[in-house]
Amino acid sequence: MALDNESFEILLATIQRFIRERLVPAENHVEDHDEVPEEIVAEMKELGLFGLSIPEEYGGIGLSMSQEGRVAFELGRTALAFRSVFGTNVGIGSQGILMDGTEAQKHEILPRVASGELIMSFALTEPDAGSDAASLKTRAELDGDHYVLNGTKRYITNAPRAGAFTLMARTGGPGASGVSAFIVPADTPGLRLGKPDKKMGQRGTKTCDVILEDVRVPAANIIGGVPGQGFKTAMKVLDRGRLHISAVACGTAQRIIEESVNYARERKQFGKAIGEFQLIQAMLADSQAELLAGWSLVQDVTRRFDLKPVHESDPEVSMRASCAKLFCTEMVGRVADRGVQIHGGAGYINEYKVERFYRDVRLLRLYEGTTQIQQIIIGREMLRSA
C-alpha cells in the first residue's frame, strides 16, 4: 500500500504549508488554553489527516509506512498536541482493526475513522500493567453472546475525545495468550472516564483513565473474532507506532535545531552573536549529526517495514523499529537539552519554544514502550536470532 509519488509530494507540500501557516501560529493558543481549536480540527479532517494510514478502499489516503514517516516528521515540527488529535486514528487506535480485524469490522469502522467522524483510542495500559503489558487485569467474562468487561485503563490518549476504543482485556488465563482485543464504543453503559490527567508537557493533548464496570460488549467485537490474539495484535500495532514516534522525534529535533540556530545568530554576548563561538557551534553540530543519523535509521526501517504484509510481524523489523524508537527519542532528548542550553536563561522561559519542546519530548522516551523496553526487545532478538 502506498500513494503514488506525485500525489504524495503534493500532499506533503500541502501538509507543510498547513503546519507553517495554521499550526505554528496557533502554538501559543494551545499552550495557553490547553486545547486545539475546533476550527483547526475541522481543517485537519478536510485535509484527510485522520485517514493518512487507512487504505483508500476504506476511505483513507493509504500512505505506506515510509510515506507516513515523512508526514510524521513534518508534524513533529510543531507542538505535539496537534498530531495527537488524529494520532490515535492514524496509529494505535485503528491499526489493530486494519491488521487483524474481520472484513465486516474494517468496513464498519475504518471509513468513519478515516473521515475523523469516529475518534479511536488504544487502551492497553492499566494501573498495575505498564511495561508488563501481558499482566493486564481487566476481565472480560463470556455471558451468552456478549462479554462483560471490568477494570481500569490508565493514561489513555484521546480517551476524552474517543468514540470507540481498541481495548485489551483478559478473556482467558494468565499471560499474553489470555488477552483479547475488543472494539468498545465509548457510549456503552458502564464505561466512564476519570478526571483529565495533568501532565508535564504536551499541553492540548487529552489523556485520562477509562473505567469499565459491567460493560457489555458483543462477542463479535473481538478484533478478528478469535479470542486470545489481542496481545499479538497490540504488539504489532506498537511496532508500527514506534516507527511513527521515531519520525516525530526527528521532526521535533529539526525544529529545536532551527530555533537554536536562529537564537544563536541573533543573541549577542561578548560583542558578537553567540553562534560565532565554537562552544555553541559544537552543541549545534552534535545535534545536527545525531538528527541525521536518527532520520536515516527511520527511513531505512520504514522501507523495510513496507516490504512485509501489513498484518504480519517480522522479528527483525520489530527489533529495528525498537532501535529507531530507542535512538530517536533519546536523541531528541539530548537535542532539546542542548537547545535550552544554547538559549541560556531564555530557554527556561515559557514564551521561548524550546522550553515547551523540552517538556513535550520527555514523553517520547516513555510511551509506546520505554527506552528500557526497547532495549529488552533488541537484546532478546539479538540473542534469539544468533
Instruction: Closer to ligand COS by CB, 232 or 365: give it.
Output: 232
What part of residues 182-211 is at the interface with ligand COS (CB under 6 A)?
A: none
- CA dist 290 and 152 (Å) reads 39
Q: How far is the CB of 314 from ligand COS (least distance, A)?
A: 8
Please, are residues 168 and 265 in contact by the beta-carbon 8 Å criterion?
no
Q: How far is the CB of 186 from ligand COS (least distance, A)?
A: 18
The pattern of x and - marking residues 66 through 105 that bind ligand COS according to CB under 6 A reads: ----------------------------------------
Instruction: Closer to ligand COS by CB, 313 or 371: give it.
Output: 313
For cell 529535533, name the residue. Answer: 253
* Angle, CA of 344, 348 and 353, to the nearest 5°: 95
- CA dist 365 and 333 (Å) reads 8
Instruction: Closer to ligand COS by CB, 49 or 124: give it.
Output: 124
Work out which of 12, 176, 211, 310 binds ligand COS, going by CB under 6 A: 176
**Does residue 40 belong to the site contacting ligand COS (CB under 6 A)?**
no
The pattern of x and - marking residues 102 through 141 that bind ligand COS according to CB under 6 A reads: ----------------------xx-----x-xx-------
Instruction: Closer to ligand COS by CB, 188 or 313: give it.
Output: 313
Residue closest to 310 by CA, chosen among 1, 47, 79, 5: 1
Q: How far is the CB of 156 from ligand COS (least distance, A)?
A: 9
Residue 115 CB neighbours (<10 A): 16
Residue of 6, 21, 368, 381 marked active site? 368
How far, rounded to the nearest angstrom, does the alpha carbon of residue 148 sit from its chain's CA centroid? 29
Please, are residues 168 and 124 in contact by the beta-carbon 8 Å criterion?
yes
Please, are residues 254 and 335 in contact by the beta-carbon 8 Å criterion?
no
Task: Output the CA–CA distances (angstroms, integers) from residue 164 to 119, 251, 261, 277, in the order listed.
Answer: 7, 29, 43, 53
Sign of the four-CA dihedral 365, 370, 372, 374: negative
Angle, helices 65-75 vs 278-306, to 10°: value is 150
Work out which of 313, 341, 371, 375 binds ligand COS, going by CB under 6 A: 313
- CA dist 269 and 66 (Å) reads 43
Verify whether residue 368 is a known catalytic residue. Answer: yes
Q: How far is the CB of 199 from ligand COS (least distance, A)?
A: 14
Q: How far is the CB of 9 from ligand COS (least distance, A)?
A: 31
What residues are annotated to the active site? 368
Q: Using CB under 6 A as the criterion, which residues of the chain lie in contact with ligand COS when the complex forms?
A: 124-125, 131, 133-134, 176-177, 231-232, 235-236, 238-239, 313, 318, 367-369, 373, 376-377
